[in-house]
Amino acid sequence: MTLSTDDSNPVLLIVHGGAGLPDRPLIKKSSAELSECYTVVCWDQRGAGFSASRAPLLLDIMLADLKAVVLYLKEKYRQEKIYGNTVFCAVLP
């Protein structure tokens, strides 16, 4: 899900990182103001939210998935940096 009033705004990636119910209704409601300053992108990691996966969740796979999403967003929105919050922020370039 993407929320934005202007796709040229900086991209804010919100990662659903745990098992459980999807957080879309909460994100949609709480990100209305953020979407005026950012392009808010919500992404469910494997096995979280709306993503279903029975494969083992290995750190290498999870990091590769996140890196692929970040690279995709950089290209799609022509941004050098993608902002966000996830436990993997410290290990990604």
* 83: confidence class by pLDDT, cuts 50, 70, 90: very high
CA distance 92 to 70: 9
Contact 14, 40 (CB under 8 A): yes
Q: How big is the chain by its Cα radius of gyration, in Å?
A: 13
Largest CA distance in the chain: 38
pTM, entire model:
0.79
At 79 the three-state DSSP class reads coil
- Domains of the chain, by residue range, sit at 2-91
Which residues does residue 2 pair with via DSSP β-bridges, in sequence order?
41
At 82 the three-state DSSP class reads strand
* 73: confidence class by pLDDT, cuts 50, 70, 90: very high
